[in-house]
Protein backbone atom coordinates (compact mmCIF):
# COMPACT_ATOMS: atom_id res chain seq x y z
CA UNK A 1 0.00 0.00 0.00
CA UNK A 2 2.82 2.37 0.91
CA UNK A 3 4.48 1.67 -2.44
CA UNK A 4 1.24 2.40 -4.33
CA UNK A 5 0.85 5.69 -2.45
CA UNK A 6 4.48 6.59 -3.20
CA UNK A 7 4.10 5.81 -6.91
CA UNK A 8 0.83 7.74 -7.06
CA UNK A 9 2.45 10.72 -5.36
CA UNK A 10 5.40 10.58 -7.75
CA UNK A 11 3.06 10.58 -10.76
CA UNK A 12 1.23 13.62 -9.40
CA UNK A 13 4.55 15.42 -8.88
CA UNK A 14 5.67 14.57 -12.42
CA UNK A 15 2.37 15.78 -13.91
CA UNK A 16 2.55 18.99 -11.89
CA UNK A 17 6.13 19.55 -13.04
CA UNK A 18 5.13 18.96 -16.66
CA UNK A 19 2.26 21.44 -16.38
CA UNK A 20 4.58 23.98 -14.77
CA UNK A 21 7.07 23.65 -17.64
CA UNK A 22 4.31 24.02 -20.23
CA UNK A 23 2.86 27.00 -18.41
CA UNK A 24 6.21 28.83 -18.53
CA UNK A 25 7.28 27.76 -22.01
CA UNK A 26 7.71 31.23 -23.53
CA UNK A 27 7.77 34.83 -22.43
CA UNK A 28 6.58 37.60 -24.76
CA UNK A 29 6.41 41.32 -25.36
CA UNK A 30 3.81 43.08 -27.48
CA UNK A 31 3.53 46.72 -28.49
CA UNK A 32 0.72 48.06 -30.66
CA UNK A 33 1.08 51.69 -31.74
CA UNK A 34 -1.58 53.59 -33.72
CA UNK A 35 -1.30 57.03 -35.31
CA UNK A 36 -4.64 58.76 -34.97
CA UNK A 37 -6.99 60.67 -32.76
CA UNK A 38 -9.94 58.92 -31.16
CA UNK A 39 -12.51 59.63 -33.87
CA UNK A 40 -16.08 58.37 -33.56
CA UNK A 41 -18.50 56.07 -35.32
CA UNK A 42 -19.90 59.01 -37.28
CA UNK A 43 -16.47 60.57 -37.85
CA UNK A 44 -13.86 57.77 -38.13
CA UNK A 45 -10.20 58.77 -38.40
CA UNK A 46 -7.84 56.82 -40.67
CA UNK A 47 -4.98 55.24 -38.76
CA UNK A 48 -1.88 53.15 -39.31
CA UNK A 49 -0.76 50.40 -36.95
CA UNK A 50 2.70 49.16 -36.03
CA UNK A 51 2.67 45.87 -34.12
CA UNK A 52 5.94 44.69 -32.56
CA UNK A 53 6.07 41.19 -31.07
CA UNK A 54 8.90 39.28 -29.43
CA UNK A 55 9.20 35.78 -27.98
CA UNK A 56 11.82 33.81 -26.08
CA UNK A 57 11.93 30.65 -24.03
CA UNK A 58 11.57 31.13 -20.29
CA UNK A 59 14.46 28.70 -19.87
CA UNK A 60 17.84 30.21 -20.73
CA UNK A 61 19.62 28.46 -23.57
CA UNK A 62 16.50 27.06 -25.23
CA UNK A 63 14.79 28.34 -28.37
CA UNK A 64 11.23 29.61 -28.04
CA UNK A 65 8.38 27.15 -28.43
CA UNK A 66 6.70 27.27 -31.84
CA UNK A 67 3.78 29.69 -32.07
CA UNK A 68 0.57 28.14 -33.40
CA UNK A 69 -1.78 31.12 -32.99
CA UNK A 70 -1.57 34.90 -32.46
CA UNK A 71 -4.76 36.77 -31.57
CA UNK A 72 -4.64 40.57 -31.37
CA UNK A 73 -7.48 42.61 -29.86
CA UNK A 74 -7.41 46.41 -30.29
CA UNK A 75 -9.98 48.78 -28.82
CA UNK A 76 -11.72 51.38 -30.96
CA UNK A 77 -10.69 50.24 -34.43
CA UNK A 78 -12.79 49.22 -37.42
CA UNK A 79 -11.67 47.74 -40.73
CA UNK A 80 -12.00 49.51 -44.07
CA UNK A 81 -11.20 46.33 -46.01
CA UNK A 82 -14.18 46.77 -48.33
CA UNK A 83 -12.53 49.89 -49.76
CA UNK A 84 -9.39 48.00 -50.79
CA UNK A 85 -8.75 45.55 -53.63
CA UNK A 86 -8.13 41.91 -52.75
CA UNK A 87 -5.72 39.13 -53.61
CA UNK A 88 -6.39 35.40 -53.32
CA UNK A 89 -3.92 33.54 -51.11
CA UNK A 90 -4.70 30.24 -52.81
CA UNK A 91 -3.59 31.75 -56.12
CA UNK A 92 -0.45 33.13 -54.43
CA UNK A 93 0.38 29.61 -53.20
CA UNK A 94 -0.29 28.07 -56.62
CA UNK A 95 1.90 30.59 -58.44
CA UNK A 96 4.51 30.71 -55.64
CA UNK A 97 4.49 34.47 -56.00
CA UNK A 98 2.42 37.51 -55.05
CA UNK A 99 3.76 39.85 -57.74
CA UNK A 100 0.48 39.60 -59.67
CA UNK A 101 -1.58 41.02 -56.77
CA UNK A 102 -3.02 44.56 -57.03
CA UNK A 103 -0.56 46.94 -55.40
CA UNK A 104 -3.13 48.50 -53.06
CA UNK A 105 -4.22 45.09 -51.79
CA UNK A 106 -0.93 44.91 -49.86
CA UNK A 107 -2.06 46.24 -46.49
CA UNK A 108 0.84 45.36 -44.19
CA UNK A 109 4.53 44.44 -44.41
CA UNK A 110 7.42 43.82 -42.08
CA UNK A 111 10.53 41.83 -41.15
CA UNK A 112 10.43 38.57 -39.21
CA UNK A 113 13.33 37.14 -37.21
CA UNK A 114 13.15 33.47 -36.28
CA UNK A 115 15.26 30.40 -35.61
CA UNK A 116 14.60 26.97 -37.13
CA UNK A 117 15.44 23.75 -35.29
CA UNK A 118 14.15 20.46 -33.92
CA UNK A 119 11.33 20.12 -31.42
CA UNK A 120 13.64 19.73 -28.41
CA UNK A 121 14.32 23.49 -28.71
CA UNK A 122 17.97 22.87 -27.83
CA UNK A 123 20.96 24.02 -29.85
CA UNK A 124 21.59 27.20 -31.81
CA UNK A 125 19.28 26.36 -34.74
CA UNK A 126 19.36 28.09 -38.13
CA UNK A 127 18.47 31.74 -38.74
CA UNK A 128 15.31 32.49 -40.72
CA UNK A 129 14.70 36.18 -41.44
CA UNK A 130 12.13 36.61 -44.22
CA UNK A 131 10.00 39.64 -45.11
CA UNK A 132 6.28 39.24 -44.53
CA UNK A 133 3.56 40.50 -46.90
CA UNK A 134 -0.04 40.74 -45.70
CA UNK A 135 -2.76 40.94 -48.37
CA UNK A 136 -6.40 41.92 -48.09
CA UNK A 137 -8.40 38.80 -48.85
CA UNK A 138 -11.87 40.34 -48.46
CA UNK A 139 -14.70 39.03 -46.32
CA UNK A 140 -12.78 39.47 -43.08
CA UNK A 141 -9.75 37.52 -44.33
CA UNK A 142 -6.08 38.44 -44.61
CA UNK A 143 -3.39 36.43 -46.40
CA UNK A 144 0.15 36.18 -44.97
CA UNK A 145 3.03 35.35 -47.33
CA UNK A 146 6.77 35.11 -46.61
CA UNK A 147 9.19 36.52 -49.17
CA UNK A 148 12.98 36.41 -49.41
CA UNK A 149 15.61 38.45 -51.19
CA UNK A 150 18.54 40.72 -50.33
CA UNK A 151 19.05 40.76 -46.57
CA UNK A 152 15.83 38.80 -46.00
CA UNK A 153 16.93 35.17 -46.11
CA UNK A 154 15.60 31.99 -44.47
CA UNK A 155 17.79 28.90 -44.21
CA UNK A 156 17.90 28.35 -47.97
CA UNK A 157 14.13 28.69 -48.41
CA UNK A 158 12.89 31.02 -51.14
CA UNK A 159 9.78 33.01 -51.95
CA UNK A 160 7.03 30.53 -52.76
CA UNK A 161 8.53 27.60 -50.87
CA UNK A 162 6.04 28.39 -48.10
CA UNK A 163 2.35 28.74 -48.96
CA UNK A 164 0.27 31.78 -48.06
CA UNK A 165 -1.86 31.27 -44.95
CA UNK A 166 -4.99 33.10 -43.75
CA UNK A 167 -5.79 35.31 -40.79
CA UNK A 168 -9.28 36.43 -39.79
CA UNK A 169 -10.60 39.83 -38.73
CA UNK A 170 -13.86 40.42 -36.89
CA UNK A 171 -15.56 43.16 -34.91
CA UNK A 172 -16.69 42.47 -31.35
CA UNK A 173 -18.32 45.55 -29.88
CA UNK A 174 -15.71 48.30 -29.97
CA UNK A 175 -12.86 45.80 -30.31
CA UNK A 176 -11.24 44.67 -33.52
CA UNK A 177 -9.95 41.08 -33.24
CA UNK A 178 -7.39 39.65 -35.65
CA UNK A 179 -6.77 35.93 -35.25
CA UNK A 180 -3.88 34.32 -37.13
CA UNK A 181 -3.69 30.52 -36.75
CA UNK A 182 -0.16 29.53 -37.78
CA UNK A 183 -0.29 26.29 -39.83
CA UNK A 184 2.27 23.51 -39.32
CA UNK A 185 4.29 24.55 -42.37
CA UNK A 186 5.32 27.77 -40.56
CA UNK A 187 5.27 26.49 -36.96
CA UNK A 188 5.90 22.81 -36.19
CA UNK A 189 6.56 21.31 -39.64
CA UNK A 190 8.56 23.97 -41.42
CA UNK A 191 9.37 23.12 -45.05
CA UNK A 192 7.29 19.96 -44.61
CA UNK A 193 9.77 18.42 -42.16
CA UNK A 194 8.01 16.83 -39.14
CA UNK A 195 9.01 18.29 -35.76
CA UNK A 196 11.05 21.03 -37.44
CA UNK A 197 10.05 24.10 -35.41
CA UNK A 198 10.05 27.79 -36.25
CA UNK A 199 10.86 29.83 -33.14
CA UNK A 200 9.90 33.49 -33.38
CA UNK A 201 12.37 36.05 -32.05
CA UNK A 202 10.81 39.27 -33.33
CA UNK A 203 8.20 40.50 -35.79
CA UNK A 204 7.46 44.11 -36.73
CA UNK A 205 4.35 44.52 -38.87
CA UNK A 206 3.24 47.92 -40.22
CA UNK A 207 -0.34 48.25 -41.47
CA UNK A 208 -1.09 50.79 -44.18
CA UNK A 209 -2.80 53.98 -43.03
CA UNK A 210 -6.49 53.91 -43.89
CA UNK A 211 -6.96 50.16 -43.91
CA UNK A 212 -8.28 50.70 -40.38
CA UNK A 213 -9.99 53.66 -38.77
CA UNK A 214 -10.27 54.80 -35.17
CA UNK A 215 -13.80 55.26 -33.80
CA UNK A 216 -13.13 55.37 -30.04
CA UNK A 217 -10.54 55.54 -27.25
CA UNK A 218 -10.61 55.05 -23.48
CA UNK A 219 -9.34 57.95 -21.37
CA UNK A 220 -6.87 59.05 -24.01
CA UNK A 221 -5.54 55.52 -24.49
CA UNK A 222 -6.13 52.59 -26.82
CA UNK A 223 -6.10 49.29 -24.88
CA UNK A 224 -4.90 46.16 -26.65
CA UNK A 225 -4.07 42.55 -25.91
CA UNK A 226 -2.13 39.89 -27.77
CA UNK A 227 -2.77 36.22 -26.96
CA UNK A 228 0.09 33.90 -27.95
CA UNK A 229 -0.38 30.14 -28.21
CA UNK A 230 2.76 28.00 -28.50
CA UNK A 231 3.84 24.38 -28.26
CA UNK A 232 7.02 22.76 -26.95
CA UNK A 233 8.29 19.41 -25.68
CA UNK A 234 6.13 19.61 -22.56
CA UNK A 235 2.87 20.70 -24.14
CA UNK A 236 0.87 23.75 -25.12
CA UNK A 237 0.82 27.25 -23.65
CA UNK A 238 -1.41 30.29 -24.13
CA UNK A 239 -0.29 33.57 -22.63
CA UNK A 240 -1.78 37.04 -23.07
CA UNK A 241 0.13 40.33 -23.02
CA UNK A 242 -1.86 43.52 -22.45
CA UNK A 243 -1.04 47.18 -22.90
CA UNK A 244 -2.25 50.47 -24.29
CA UNK A 245 -1.05 53.07 -26.74
CA UNK A 246 -1.54 56.82 -26.73
CA UNK A 247 -4.79 57.99 -28.28
CA UNK A 248 -6.22 61.51 -28.08
Give 194-212 as a DSSP string: TTEEEEEEEEEEEEEEEEE
Give the residue-averaged pLDDT of 111-123.
96
pTM over 0.85: yes
Q: How confident is the model at residue 15 (pLDDT cuts 50, 70, 90)?
A: very low
Average pLDDT, the chain: 90
What is the β-pairing status of strands 235-246 and 221-232? antiparallel
| Angle CA 135–140–142, to nearest 5 | 20
Contact 114, 126 (CB under 8 A): no
CB atoms within 10 A of CB 103: 7
pLDDT for position 241: 97
Segment 150-173 mean pLDDT = 96
- Which residues have C-beta within 8 Å of that of residue 73, sequence separation ≥ 6? 172, 175, 176, 177, 224, 225, 226, 227
Which of 48-52, 90-94, 244-248 is predicted with the least confidence, judged by mean pLDDT?
Answer: 244-248
Confidence of residue 8 (pLDDT cuts 50, 70, 90): very low
Amino acid sequence: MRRIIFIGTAVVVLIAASVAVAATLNTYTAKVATTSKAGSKSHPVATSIVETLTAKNATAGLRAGALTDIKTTIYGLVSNAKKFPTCDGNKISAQKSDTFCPKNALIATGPVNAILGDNTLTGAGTACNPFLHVWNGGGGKLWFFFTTGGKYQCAGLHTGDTNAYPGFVKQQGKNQITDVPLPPFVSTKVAGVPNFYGSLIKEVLTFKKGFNSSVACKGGKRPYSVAFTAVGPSGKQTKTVTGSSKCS
